[in-house]
Structure 1
Amino acid sequence: MTNSTTNEPEPSDSLKTFGLVHKAFRKRAGLTQEEFAPLVRYQPSTVASIEQGRRLPPRVYVERAEEVLDAFGVLRAAAKYATREPGLASWFRKWADLEEQAISLYTFENRLVPGLLQTEAYARTLFNARLPVLTDAQIEAQLAARADRQRLLTEMPNTAFSFIVEEHIVKRGTGGTDVTRELIDHLLAVTELRNVELQLMPETRHIHAGLNGPIQLLETSDNDWFGYCEGQESGQLIVSPKTVSVLHMRYAKLRSQALTPDDSRSLLERTRGAL
């Protein structure tokens, strides 16, 4: 088993196994992926990803599949042992699993562009610079995992995604001018989605409610709230209502201190034009 501080979770075939079991029950029911998807209220691409072992099945998905396929509790039992493929740090997996159930997800970042918003070139720059040095295989696994998470933005259209990012992160020029141009173009494209909102914290705002560090909050379909904080080679899932309330208070203040979404888009366009 790999130590969590290596940024790589232990390898597992459990997702592929779950996918094969799921596929067998779906075929037993005489349903194609396209016919099955609306019955569990997910996209066919999500069903395909789960059956191919590329995506962890959300808890609500498993429950709906159990009911639709009359799976005798087999899918529910198999899901308990399903873990992600290599690519996500082991301490982050619990949070990533909750992301798949989120109806609201809030992120404040003052260090780098949030993973859900990164381009491949931007992410590759970060992974290439990581210490200890990653192998080519590890970098590709990290990139694949990041791309898999980013599908949440389009495959969960009823989930509200809010991002607040420090202006200096975009202006830093990580990866060079071409990478930054592509990044800004990507941010402008992503924020055209109705469920995605991006606010920039301007450099002229000399003090704000996020100086203690990044904030991540999410609300599940059961209306439970969780927080997550990540540091150097470690991460912490926050379940304490009192602590989550504090993070809520800070995030609400950050929203009022940051530029509006429209003004943030204008700033991104001006920054893009100056490159």
Structure 2
Amino acid sequence: MTAVDEEAGRLKEEADEPGWEVDPDDEWGVAVITTVGRQLKLRREAVGMRAAEFGRAVGYGEDMIYKIEGGKRIPRQEFLDKADEVLGAGGLLAAAWEDVKKVRYPKKVRALGKLEAKAVEIGLYECNIVAGLLQTPEHARAVIGAAQPPYSPDDVERMVAARLARQAVFERDPAPALSFVLEEGVLRRPIGGKMAWRQQLERLLEVGRLHNVVLQVMPMNCETHSGMDGRIELLKFADGTAVGRSDGAFNGRPTSDPRQLRILELRYGTIRAQALSPRESLTFIEQLLGET
């Protein structure tokens, strides 16, 4: 098999992976992918290539080409780069990735990701899961895949990819201040199996040692716990504004009302005071890891 054949086979395999279907309820996403598909088709026809011929040139099947051109499938960056080269588009098709990548993930997650990308401070208390910003791919896939009724394979992969994309917050410069409080019981539950569990604990230690991150564990033997109403999320921005949300307050809806934010900040601050210190928390996670 030649290198060209191997590359074509790899691209075809990637094209068939779940998680790249267009969400029909995402109007803006549908519009973007439809426009990109239409431009692709026009350029293909302009150079006189049939879909099957073009597919062979980029390593995709004819059916997949029709799906992408018809706005039914989200094109990968590698596909757009290759299509640009084959069709001589001068970089215009490759540049479409800047728009495509914005609609790659579900609408609700995109909105959350935008807020997190702007926040200078993020505080999260999670009571039932490891916070999404801290999850490994294997852990995220196991958590999302365990939902009932179950998601389709496409939806699972889309949600996993969206969750991991939000973790770009750790690469920002200047770095935001991040704090997390996680429940001991959650850290003891081997979601996804022993290996995935170990990888998740290792990831927590890695993140917890970052200079801009404070990671704490709420111990199960804590006699007073102010987080019984559910998760709390607080995001603060450079202009002094903030957004907060809690499962057990204000109907679980995001709020920017100063009085409501003070309540959430009081609850979150109290939870942090009740949890193990950051140093104690990392030691605790190390001990858990040693027990696996």
Q: Fold conserved (TM > 0.5)?
A: yes
Residue 52 of structure 1 deviates from its aligned partner by 2.9
Cα distance change, pair 149–224 in 1 and its aligned pair in 2 (3 A): same
Tell me, yes or no, if the aligned pair for 1:108 and 1:216 is still in contact at 8 Å: yes
* Equivalent residue in structure 1 for 2:104, among 79, 85, 106: 85
Amino acid at match of 1:182: Q
Instruction: State how far apart, in whole Å, the 2-side matches of 1:146 and 1:123 are.
Output: 8
| 1:95 Cα offset (Å) | 3.3
> Is 1:53 aligned to 2:53, yes or no?
no
Counterpart contact for 1:16–1:51, Cα < 8 Å: no
Aligned residue identity for 2:106: G
- 1:119 maps to 136
Determine the structure 2 residue equivalent to 1:64.
Answer: none
Is residue 101 of structure 1 aligned with residue 147 of structure 2? no
Match of 1:4 in 2: none
Shift, 1:104, TM fit: 0.1
196-205 or 155-164, which moves further after superposition?
155-164
TM-score using structure 1 length: 0.68
Aligned counterparts, 1:209-224, within 5 A? 209-224=226-241
Q: Distance in 2 between matches of 1:266 and 1:195?
A: 18
Measured at CA, do residues 9 and 154 of structure 1 come closer, stay the same or move farther in structure 2, by a change above 3 Å? farther
1:191 and 2:205 matched: no
Pairwise CA distance, 1:156: 4.5
Stretches of structure 1 lacking an aligned partner (at least 5 in a row): 1-6, 20-47, 57-83
How far apart, in 2, do the equivalents of 1:133 and 1:230 lie? 23
TM normalised by structure 2 equals 0.65
Greater percentage in helix? 2
Match of 1:170 in 2: 187
Query: Over aligned residues, Cα RMSD in angstroms?
Result: 2.9
* Cα drift, residue 8 of structure 1: 8.9
Contact 1:95 1:237 in 2 (8 A): no
Shift in Å, 1:229: 3.1
* Equivalent residue number for residue 26 of structure 2: 10
Aligned residues of 2:229 and 2:247 also touching (Cα < 8 A): no
Residue 52 of structure 1 aligns with an amino acid whose one-letter code is: E
Residue 45 of structure 1 corresponds to which residue in structure 2?
Answer: none
User: How far, CA to CA, are the matches of 2:95 and 2:221 in structure 1?
Assistant: 44
From 156, 163, 173, the counterpart of 1:139: 156
Amino acid at match of 2:123: Y
Change (3 A) 1:14 1:264: farther
Which structure exhibits the higher relative contact order, with contacts defined as CA atoms closer than 8 Å and separated by 6 or more residues? Answer: 1
**Partner SS state of residue 85, structure 1:** coil
| Match of residue 289 from structure 2 | 272
**Per the alignment, in what secondary structure is the counterpart of residue 173 of structure 1?**
coil
- Return the alpha-carbon distance in structure 1 between the equivalents of residues 101 and 212 of structure 2: 22
The within-5 A match list for 1:39-78 is 52-53=98-99, 56=102
Offset of 1:53 from its aligned partner?
3.4
Deviation, structure 1 residue 54 = 5.9
Distance 2:202 2:152 in 1: 29
Task: Tell me the amino acid that sits aligned with residue 105 of structure 2.
Answer: P
Q: Secondary structure at the match of 1:249?
A: helix
Q: Are 1:200 and 2:217 counterparts?
A: yes
> Radius of gyration: which is bigger?
2
Residues of 1 paired with 2:264 and 2:32: CA distance?
Answer: 33
Indicate yes or no: 2:285 matched with 1:239: no
